[in-house]
Amino acid sequence: MKVYTLGTSHGDSTMTRLNSCYVYEAGDKTTYCVDAGAPAEALIRRQGLKIRDISALFVTHLHDDHAGGLVGLMKQSMKYPDGRQKPIDLFLPESLAQYTLEAWMATLHLPIRADAIRFHVTGEGLCYEDGNVRVSAIRTRHLLRDGHPVSFAYVLHFKKENVKILHTGDLRADFSDFPAVALEEPFDLCLCEATHYRPESAAPILRRAKFSRLIFVHVWDEWADDAGEARFLSHFSGTQYPMQFAHDGDVFTL
């Protein structure tokens, strides 16, 4: 299977990094997206992937850099339905989002068709399963509404390849909501954000994580060049698995 890091910036796009958008491709070429920061549909097509092959899209939280490209992606799904076997299952972390998206799409004269998009509200635990992947959601406290967490990390277990991935989403500044499952179960890969905390806060926890490999995404400006990457990674000396930074357009094979 393959992992595409299409957009790897923090809350603002930069000259070299665009907003958060990640694609996981199973062996049969079916794809699964986590986050759709703008310009998600353009990044997906530029990589040579097909929007009609997306089976499900999981939004970690409703900040613009993670969800601002949803309208463009939904438009493309409705505009080019040929070859699609079923609607894209779109998992939103707040129920308010469906109403808002439907209203905005109607304003743009693009009413949502049920054969193109199927809405779900993400909840804790198992949220999606098909022949390729089993996806579970873990609440984080990066984003709160009325004091309640409305942001998620995701565990993706690709069954045929027997590959298990942790996608952290954005975390709190003290790293206290890093998913505890990473200390309890082995993972083949973790995609971990690198903006909202200092590396010295994360190092003691990540040294204990049971990963085979970790890739940092959602990269803050301080770490965005070669020297910055080296400074960041220097805090993790003694970690027993490889760590690296992703860049826009990288493809990782597992």
* Average of per-residue pLDDT across 234-241: 95
Q: Is residue 132 scored above 80 in pLDDT?
A: yes
Average the pLDDT over 103-119 and give the result. 92
| Res 111 pLDDT > 80 | yes
Query: Which tens digits make up the pLDDT trace of 34-89?
Result: 999 999 999 999 999 999 899 999 999 999 999 999 999 999 888 876 666 789 99
pLDDT for 2 beyond 80:
yes
**Token pair in block for residue 128:** 């999606």
Contacts of 99 (CB under 8 A, 6+ apart): none
**pLDDT given for residue 79 in this prediction:** 81
> Is residue 1 within 8 Å of residue 27, measured between CB atoms?
yes
Q: Output the CA–CA distances (angstroms, integers) from residue 54 to 51, 64, 167, 252, in the order listed.
A: 5, 21, 18, 18
Q: How confident is the model over 184-224, as pLDDT tens digits?
A: 999 999 999 999 999 999 999 999 999 999 999 999 999 99
Does this model's pTM top 0.95? My answer is yes
Across 99-107, average pLDDT: 94
Picking from 171, 173, 167, the residue whose alpha carbon sits closest to that of residue 189 is: 167
